[in-house]
Amino acid sequence: MGGDYYDVLELSDERLGLAIADVSGKGVPAAILIASVRSALQAQCAREGLSVADILEHLNDMVFRDTANNKLIGSISHFSLIPPTTSGGSKPPTTPGTPTITAYQFGPGLTVSWSASSKINSNDPNIAGYEVYRSTSQTSGFSNISGDSFSTGSFNSGVLVTGTAYNDTTASDGVTYYYKAAAFNVSGDDSASSAASAGICAPRGFPGLCY
């Protein structure tokens, strides 16, 4: 327990304040004083539009007034304001719609379809395509079945599904599957994966017979 103090404080105008402080002395008295300094600093940071100079001037007055014999026994060794930042980069695509599945008796696998993703801002990169994921559980174990666009370590849009439907010809007959889809733009930014589809049994020649 002592008088060392550092903190990151959120100001009312979305700036951040970074404070590093120390007080002379040790133990409980130093801890009590630095707690007082912290409370006073938080109160000043909550006020609208104050500069560093304003915050430290008010803080100095409060500490001076409340310190025994008006002696300087504490100091803020660093306090700076960090302005809010906004990302200048593009945003990833919106999340595709939950896939729906069509099974064909005696047919070639399962057809997975979903509603298209879109750009969030008009100047964001265009949608390049989709990856499709499959699992035998609705909550876990999904793996890519359409082609991994980052399998080589760099983005390869050529393996993406360019439409909003995919024919899963590797589905095993009689097994119930669940599907998800994720969108990628031409820069390689990906959306969150869609919600999992409802389960559907791959065809095996006799409807309703699933493992």
What structural domains does the chain harbor?
A: 5-82 (no CATH), 100-201 (2.60.40.10)
Q: What is the chain's mean pLDDT, rounded?
A: 80
pLDDT value at position 134?
A: 95
pLDDT band at 162 (very low <50, low <70, confident <90, very high): very high
Q: CA of 150: how far to CAs of 134, 163, 187, in Å? A: 18, 19, 12
Residue 97 near residue 180, CB atoms below 8 Å: no
Nearest by Cα to 193 from 179, 173, 176? 179
Query: pTM of the prediction?
Result: 0.56
pLDDT at 74 over 60: no
Percent of all residues in the chain with a pLDDT value above 70, rounded to a whole number? 77
**Strand segments (E) across 41-126:** 74-82, 100-103, 110-113
Q: What is the mean pLDDT of residues 154-161?
A: 95
Instruction: Examine the pLDDT at 28 and tell me if it is beyond 70.
Output: yes
pLDDT of residue 65: 74
Report the alpha-carbon distance of residue 111 to residue 11 in Å, rounded: 53
- The answer to whether 107 and 205 have CB atoms below 8 angstroms apart is no
Name the burial class of residue 65, with classes exposed (0-12), middle (13-18) and buried (19+) by CB atoms within 10 angstroms of its CB. exposed
Secondary structure of 135-177 in the HEC alphabet?
ECCCCCCCEECCCCCCCCCCCCHHHCECCCEEEECCCCCCCEE
Residues near 137 by Cβ (< 8 Å), separated by ≥ 6?
178
Give mean pLDDT, residues 13-34. Answer: 74
Give me the mean pLDDT over the 43-72 stretch. 72
Considering 7-16, 61-70, 75-84, 179-188, the range whose residues carry the highest mean pLDDT is 179-188
- The tens digit of pLDDT for each residue in 101-141 reads 887 655 567 889 999 999 988 888 999 999 999 999 999 99
| Distance set, CA 184 to CA 132, 134, 205 (Å) | 11, 18, 36
Give whole-number Cα distances, 45 to 35, 80, 93, in Å.
Answer: 15, 11, 37
211 vs 161, more confident: 161
Q: What per-residue confidence (pLDDT) applies to 139?
A: 92
Q: Look at residue 80 and give its three-state secondary structure.
A: strand
